[in-house]
Amino acid sequence: MGIEIHVDDDGLPQLVERVVSRRALVTGASGLLGAGTARVLAESGTEVTTLQRRPSGVPGVRDVLGSVTDPAAVEDALESVDTVVHVAAKVSMSGPEEEFRAVNVEGTRILVHAARRRGVRRFVHISSPSVAHAGSSIVGEGAGPADPERARGPYARTKAAGELIALEADTEDFRVLVLRPHLMWGPGDLQLTDRIVQRSREGRMPVLGTGAPLIDTLYTGNAVEAVVAAVAAVDHTHGEALVVTNGEPRPVGELVRGIALAGGAPEPERTVPAGLARRAGALIERVWERDLFRVRSAGIGSADGEPPLTEFLAEQLSTAHWFDQRRTREVLEWTPTVSIDEGLHRLAAYYRDR
Protein backbone atom coordinates (compact mmCIF):
# COMPACT_ATOMS: atom_id res chain seq x y z
CA MET A 1 0.00 0.00 0.00
CA GLY A 2 1.10 3.55 -0.65
CA ILE A 3 1.08 6.35 1.86
CA GLU A 4 -2.14 8.18 2.65
CA ILE A 5 -2.40 11.28 0.46
CA HIS A 6 -4.52 14.12 1.75
CA VAL A 7 -4.67 16.96 -0.78
CA ASP A 8 -7.33 19.64 -0.64
CA ASP A 9 -8.96 19.96 -4.06
CA ASP A 10 -10.52 23.40 -3.62
CA GLY A 11 -7.82 25.30 -5.49
CA LEU A 12 -6.61 22.62 -7.90
CA PRO A 13 -8.87 22.90 -10.98
CA GLN A 14 -7.54 26.34 -11.91
CA LEU A 15 -3.95 25.24 -11.28
CA VAL A 16 -3.99 22.07 -13.38
CA GLU A 17 -5.49 23.98 -16.32
CA ARG A 18 -2.22 25.94 -16.46
CA VAL A 19 0.02 22.85 -16.57
CA VAL A 20 1.30 22.23 -20.11
CA SER A 21 3.59 19.29 -19.26
CA ARG A 22 2.57 16.08 -20.99
CA ARG A 23 5.12 13.69 -19.50
CA ALA A 24 6.55 14.38 -16.05
CA LEU A 25 8.93 12.65 -13.69
CA VAL A 26 8.39 13.08 -9.94
CA THR A 27 11.19 11.82 -7.71
CA GLY A 28 10.55 10.89 -4.09
CA ALA A 29 6.89 9.97 -4.63
CA SER A 30 6.87 7.57 -1.68
CA GLY A 31 6.75 10.68 0.52
CA LEU A 32 3.75 12.90 1.11
CA LEU A 33 4.73 15.87 -1.07
CA GLY A 34 5.99 13.78 -3.98
CA ALA A 35 3.01 11.43 -3.89
CA GLY A 36 0.53 14.29 -3.71
CA THR A 37 2.20 16.06 -6.64
CA ALA A 38 2.29 12.87 -8.73
CA ARG A 39 -1.39 12.20 -8.01
CA VAL A 40 -2.53 15.68 -9.00
CA LEU A 41 -0.44 15.73 -12.19
CA ALA A 42 -1.68 12.26 -13.18
CA GLU A 43 -5.30 13.24 -12.58
CA SER A 44 -4.79 16.34 -14.72
CA GLY A 45 -3.91 14.17 -17.72
CA THR A 46 -0.11 14.29 -17.49
CA GLU A 47 1.69 10.98 -18.03
CA VAL A 48 3.63 10.60 -14.78
CA THR A 49 6.65 8.49 -13.96
CA THR A 50 7.92 8.29 -10.38
CA LEU A 51 11.37 7.38 -9.09
CA GLN A 52 11.93 6.18 -5.52
CA ARG A 53 13.06 3.10 -3.62
CA ARG A 54 9.60 1.62 -2.97
CA PRO A 55 6.25 1.70 -4.81
CA SER A 56 4.56 5.09 -4.67
CA GLY A 57 1.03 3.75 -4.33
CA VAL A 58 -0.17 6.53 -6.65
CA PRO A 59 -2.80 5.29 -9.13
CA GLY A 60 -2.09 5.68 -12.81
CA VAL A 61 1.66 6.35 -12.68
CA ARG A 62 4.66 4.37 -13.86
CA ASP A 63 6.90 3.55 -10.90
CA VAL A 64 10.62 3.15 -11.46
CA LEU A 65 12.12 1.65 -8.32
CA GLY A 66 15.56 2.98 -7.58
CA SER A 67 17.54 5.95 -6.35
CA VAL A 68 18.60 9.24 -7.89
CA THR A 69 22.13 8.06 -7.08
CA ASP A 70 21.76 5.24 -9.67
CA PRO A 71 22.42 6.58 -13.21
CA ALA A 72 20.68 3.59 -14.83
CA ALA A 73 17.48 4.10 -12.83
CA VAL A 74 17.58 7.83 -13.60
CA GLU A 75 17.94 7.19 -17.34
CA ASP A 76 14.99 4.76 -17.25
CA ALA A 77 12.82 7.22 -15.34
CA LEU A 78 13.59 10.08 -17.77
CA GLU A 79 12.31 8.25 -20.85
CA SER A 80 10.26 10.73 -22.95
CA VAL A 81 9.94 13.19 -20.04
CA ASP A 82 9.54 16.95 -20.60
CA THR A 83 9.30 18.03 -16.93
CA VAL A 84 11.02 16.92 -13.72
CA VAL A 85 9.81 17.61 -10.18
CA HIS A 86 12.72 16.67 -7.92
CA VAL A 87 11.45 15.98 -4.41
CA ALA A 88 13.68 13.06 -3.38
CA ALA A 89 16.16 13.81 -0.59
CA LYS A 90 17.73 12.34 2.50
CA VAL A 91 15.85 14.08 5.31
CA SER A 92 16.95 13.50 8.88
CA MET A 93 18.04 15.41 11.97
CA SER A 94 21.28 13.43 12.20
CA GLY A 95 23.54 11.04 10.34
CA PRO A 96 26.89 10.88 8.54
CA GLU A 97 27.31 13.81 6.18
CA GLU A 98 28.47 11.54 3.36
CA GLU A 99 25.04 9.86 3.33
CA PHE A 100 23.30 13.22 2.92
CA ARG A 101 25.84 14.24 0.27
CA ALA A 102 25.32 11.08 -1.79
CA VAL A 103 21.60 11.80 -2.27
CA ASN A 104 21.18 15.56 -1.89
CA VAL A 105 24.27 16.62 -3.82
CA GLU A 106 25.48 13.81 -6.08
CA GLY A 107 21.98 12.48 -6.72
CA THR A 108 20.85 15.94 -7.78
CA ARG A 109 23.93 16.30 -10.01
CA ILE A 110 23.20 12.96 -11.72
CA LEU A 111 19.53 13.85 -12.26
CA VAL A 112 20.21 17.39 -13.56
CA HIS A 113 22.90 16.30 -16.00
CA ALA A 114 20.82 13.38 -17.31
CA ALA A 115 17.73 15.57 -17.66
CA ARG A 116 19.64 18.14 -19.72
CA ARG A 117 21.03 15.42 -21.99
CA ARG A 118 17.52 14.04 -22.50
CA GLY A 119 16.11 17.42 -23.54
CA VAL A 120 13.93 18.00 -20.47
CA ARG A 121 12.59 21.58 -20.60
CA ARG A 122 11.33 22.15 -17.03
CA PHE A 123 12.98 21.29 -13.73
CA VAL A 124 11.25 22.13 -10.44
CA HIS A 125 13.66 21.52 -7.59
CA ILE A 126 12.35 21.15 -4.01
CA SER A 127 14.75 22.66 -1.50
CA SER A 128 14.44 24.06 2.03
CA PRO A 129 14.66 27.50 3.69
CA SER A 130 17.37 26.00 5.90
CA VAL A 131 19.81 26.37 2.97
CA ALA A 132 19.98 30.12 3.72
CA HIS A 133 19.61 30.00 7.51
CA ALA A 134 22.70 30.68 9.60
CA GLY A 135 21.03 30.50 13.01
CA SER A 136 19.76 34.05 13.48
CA SER A 137 16.17 35.27 13.29
CA ILE A 138 14.52 35.72 9.88
CA VAL A 139 11.84 38.42 10.01
CA GLY A 140 9.90 39.18 6.83
CA GLU A 141 12.75 38.40 4.46
CA GLY A 142 12.67 36.79 1.02
CA ALA A 143 14.61 33.76 -0.16
CA GLY A 144 18.27 34.52 0.50
CA PRO A 145 21.00 32.75 -1.49
CA ALA A 146 21.75 29.15 -0.62
CA ASP A 147 25.01 29.00 1.35
CA PRO A 148 26.54 25.55 1.96
CA GLU A 149 29.27 27.09 4.14
CA ARG A 150 26.95 28.78 6.66
CA ALA A 151 23.93 26.45 6.61
CA ARG A 152 23.40 24.53 9.85
CA GLY A 153 23.77 20.75 9.87
CA PRO A 154 24.42 18.11 7.19
CA TYR A 155 20.90 18.20 5.75
CA ALA A 156 20.90 21.98 5.25
CA ARG A 157 24.48 22.08 3.92
CA THR A 158 23.89 19.36 1.35
CA LYS A 159 20.51 20.71 0.30
CA ALA A 160 22.20 24.09 -0.24
CA ALA A 161 24.84 22.51 -2.46
CA GLY A 162 22.18 20.58 -4.37
CA GLU A 163 20.12 23.71 -4.94
CA LEU A 164 23.15 25.51 -6.37
CA ILE A 165 23.76 22.63 -8.79
CA ALA A 166 20.18 22.91 -10.03
CA LEU A 167 20.22 26.70 -10.40
CA GLU A 168 23.60 26.73 -12.13
CA ALA A 169 22.10 24.49 -14.83
CA ASP A 170 19.30 26.97 -15.63
CA THR A 171 19.07 28.12 -19.25
CA GLU A 172 16.29 29.15 -21.64
CA ASP A 173 16.16 25.54 -22.84
CA PHE A 174 16.39 23.96 -19.37
CA ARG A 175 14.31 26.10 -17.04
CA VAL A 176 14.89 25.61 -13.33
CA LEU A 177 12.64 26.92 -10.56
CA VAL A 178 13.41 26.17 -6.91
CA LEU A 179 10.75 25.95 -4.20
CA ARG A 180 11.62 25.98 -0.50
CA PRO A 181 8.57 24.74 1.43
CA HIS A 182 8.84 25.77 5.08
CA LEU A 183 7.89 23.47 7.97
CA MET A 184 5.18 21.42 6.28
CA TRP A 185 2.52 19.88 8.51
CA GLY A 186 -0.87 18.28 8.04
CA PRO A 187 -2.70 14.94 7.70
CA GLY A 188 -0.39 12.09 6.77
CA ASP A 189 2.83 14.01 7.48
CA LEU A 190 5.34 11.89 9.39
CA GLN A 191 8.29 14.29 9.35
CA LEU A 192 6.94 16.99 11.68
CA THR A 193 3.27 16.50 12.53
CA ASP A 194 3.33 12.93 13.74
CA ARG A 195 6.54 13.47 15.68
CA ILE A 196 5.02 16.41 17.56
CA VAL A 197 1.91 14.34 18.34
CA GLN A 198 3.80 11.22 19.40
CA ARG A 199 6.34 13.06 21.53
CA SER A 200 3.57 15.08 23.16
CA ARG A 201 1.79 11.85 24.03
CA GLU A 202 5.00 10.61 25.62
CA GLY A 203 5.56 13.85 27.55
CA ARG A 204 8.74 14.57 25.57
CA MET A 205 7.71 17.68 23.62
CA PRO A 206 8.73 20.79 25.59
CA VAL A 207 8.22 24.38 24.51
CA LEU A 208 11.61 26.07 24.18
CA GLY A 209 12.02 29.48 25.78
CA THR A 210 8.90 31.61 25.83
CA GLY A 211 7.35 29.96 22.77
CA ALA A 212 6.68 33.49 21.49
CA PRO A 213 8.94 33.80 18.36
CA LEU A 214 6.86 33.97 15.20
CA ILE A 215 7.34 31.25 12.59
CA ASP A 216 5.83 30.51 9.19
CA THR A 217 4.59 27.03 8.34
CA LEU A 218 2.95 25.38 5.34
CA TYR A 219 -0.11 23.12 5.32
CA THR A 220 0.64 20.01 3.26
CA GLY A 221 -2.28 20.43 0.84
CA ASN A 222 -1.09 23.96 0.11
CA ALA A 223 2.41 22.63 -0.49
CA VAL A 224 1.18 20.29 -3.23
CA GLU A 225 -0.74 23.15 -4.83
CA ALA A 226 2.39 25.29 -4.81
CA VAL A 227 4.44 22.60 -6.57
CA VAL A 228 1.77 22.16 -9.25
CA ALA A 229 1.71 25.95 -9.67
CA ALA A 230 5.51 25.89 -10.08
CA VAL A 231 5.25 23.33 -12.89
CA ALA A 232 3.14 25.91 -14.74
CA ALA A 233 5.16 28.95 -13.65
CA VAL A 234 8.58 27.66 -14.71
CA ASP A 235 7.65 28.35 -18.34
CA HIS A 236 7.68 32.09 -17.66
CA THR A 237 9.90 32.50 -14.57
CA HIS A 238 13.03 30.49 -13.85
CA GLY A 239 16.50 30.71 -12.39
CA GLU A 240 15.43 31.68 -8.87
CA ALA A 241 14.38 30.25 -5.51
CA LEU A 242 11.10 30.92 -3.71
CA VAL A 243 10.23 30.22 -0.09
CA VAL A 244 6.68 28.87 0.21
CA THR A 245 4.59 29.25 3.38
CA ASN A 246 1.01 29.81 4.44
CA GLY A 247 1.95 33.44 5.06
CA GLU A 248 0.44 33.34 8.55
CA PRO A 249 3.20 33.75 11.15
CA ARG A 250 2.18 32.34 14.53
CA PRO A 251 4.03 31.94 17.85
CA VAL A 252 5.93 28.66 17.71
CA GLY A 253 4.52 27.54 21.08
CA GLU A 254 0.98 28.12 19.86
CA LEU A 255 1.56 26.04 16.73
CA VAL A 256 3.18 23.15 18.59
CA ARG A 257 0.32 23.09 21.09
CA GLY A 258 -2.25 23.30 18.28
CA ILE A 259 -0.77 20.35 16.40
CA ALA A 260 -0.48 18.26 19.58
CA LEU A 261 -4.10 18.93 20.57
CA ALA A 262 -5.34 18.22 17.03
CA GLY A 263 -3.60 14.85 17.27
CA GLY A 264 -5.37 14.03 20.52
CA ALA A 265 -2.22 14.44 22.60
CA PRO A 266 -1.87 16.41 25.83
CA GLU A 267 -0.91 20.03 25.42
CA PRO A 268 2.86 20.42 25.98
CA GLU A 269 3.34 22.21 29.29
CA ARG A 270 7.02 21.79 30.14
CA THR A 271 9.34 24.63 29.12
CA VAL A 272 13.10 24.55 28.63
CA PRO A 273 15.29 27.68 28.36
CA ALA A 274 16.27 28.22 24.72
CA GLY A 275 19.99 28.58 25.43
CA LEU A 276 20.05 25.40 27.48
CA ALA A 277 18.18 23.54 24.72
CA ARG A 278 20.71 24.63 22.09
CA ARG A 279 23.66 23.51 24.21
CA ALA A 280 21.94 20.21 24.99
CA GLY A 281 21.14 19.69 21.31
CA ALA A 282 24.78 20.24 20.34
CA LEU A 283 25.92 17.75 22.97
CA ILE A 284 23.36 15.14 21.92
CA GLU A 285 24.47 15.46 18.30
CA ARG A 286 28.08 14.76 19.27
CA VAL A 287 27.29 11.55 21.12
CA TRP A 288 24.36 10.32 19.05
CA GLU A 289 26.18 8.85 16.07
CA ARG A 290 29.12 7.60 18.14
CA ASP A 291 27.02 5.62 20.60
CA LEU A 292 23.58 5.28 19.05
CA PHE A 293 22.87 1.82 20.48
CA ARG A 294 23.65 2.79 24.07
CA VAL A 295 21.71 6.05 23.88
CA ARG A 296 18.61 4.38 22.46
CA SER A 297 18.87 1.53 24.95
CA ALA A 298 18.77 4.10 27.72
CA GLY A 299 15.39 5.27 26.41
CA ILE A 300 16.58 8.72 25.34
CA GLY A 301 15.87 8.38 21.65
CA SER A 302 12.60 7.91 19.80
CA ALA A 303 11.14 4.95 17.95
CA ASP A 304 12.00 6.55 14.58
CA GLY A 305 15.71 6.51 15.40
CA GLU A 306 16.02 10.29 15.53
CA PRO A 307 17.75 12.09 18.42
CA PRO A 308 15.37 13.84 20.82
CA LEU A 309 17.02 17.20 20.10
CA THR A 310 19.70 18.76 17.89
CA GLU A 311 21.19 22.23 17.92
CA PHE A 312 19.47 23.06 14.62
CA LEU A 313 16.09 21.84 15.90
CA ALA A 314 16.50 23.89 19.07
CA GLU A 315 17.24 26.95 16.94
CA GLN A 316 14.18 26.33 14.77
CA LEU A 317 11.91 25.99 17.81
CA SER A 318 13.20 29.09 19.60
CA THR A 319 14.02 31.58 16.81
CA ALA A 320 11.73 33.74 14.70
CA HIS A 321 11.64 32.78 11.02
CA TRP A 322 8.91 34.08 8.77
CA PHE A 323 9.12 35.20 5.17
CA ASP A 324 7.85 37.79 2.72
CA GLN A 325 5.54 35.86 0.38
CA ARG A 326 4.85 38.56 -2.21
CA ARG A 327 7.37 37.33 -4.78
CA THR A 328 6.29 33.70 -4.31
CA ARG A 329 2.64 34.49 -4.93
CA GLU A 330 3.44 36.75 -7.87
CA VAL A 331 5.51 34.10 -9.66
CA LEU A 332 3.25 31.14 -8.86
CA GLU A 333 0.03 33.12 -9.43
CA TRP A 334 -1.31 31.25 -6.41
CA THR A 335 -2.35 31.80 -2.80
CA PRO A 336 -2.80 29.09 -0.15
CA THR A 337 -6.25 27.51 -0.08
CA VAL A 338 -6.26 26.22 3.51
CA SER A 339 -5.61 28.54 6.46
CA ILE A 340 -3.76 27.39 9.57
CA ASP A 341 -6.97 27.31 11.60
CA GLU A 342 -8.78 25.29 8.94
CA GLY A 343 -5.74 23.02 8.63
CA LEU A 344 -5.78 22.29 12.37
CA HIS A 345 -9.49 21.50 12.11
CA ARG A 346 -8.81 19.05 9.26
CA LEU A 347 -5.87 17.56 11.14
CA ALA A 348 -8.08 16.89 14.17
CA ALA A 349 -10.66 15.17 11.95
CA TYR A 350 -7.89 13.04 10.40
CA TYR A 351 -6.66 11.81 13.78
CA ARG A 352 -10.22 11.15 14.96
CA ASP A 353 -10.83 9.03 11.85
CA ARG A 354 -7.67 7.05 12.53
Is 155 marked active-site? yes
Q: Quick check: helix, strand or coil at residue 270?
A: coil
Catalytic residue among 155, 219, 350, 351: 155
Please say whether the beta carbons of 5 and 38 come within 8 A: no
Helix/strand/coil for 257: helix
Label residue 108 exposed, middle or buried (CB < 10 Å: 0-12, 13-18, 19+): buried
Q: What is the DSSP string of 284-339?
A: HHHHHTTTHHHHHHTT-S-TTS--S--HHHHHHTTS-EEE--HHHHHHHT---SS-
Asked whether 114 and 76 are in contact (CB, 8 A), the reply is no
**Cα 47 from chain centroid?**
24
What is the widest separation between alpha-carbon atoms in the chain? 55
- DSSP string of 156-204? HHHHHHHHHHHHHT--SSSEEEEEEE-SEESTT-TTTHHHHHHHHHTT-
Residues with a known catalytic role:
155
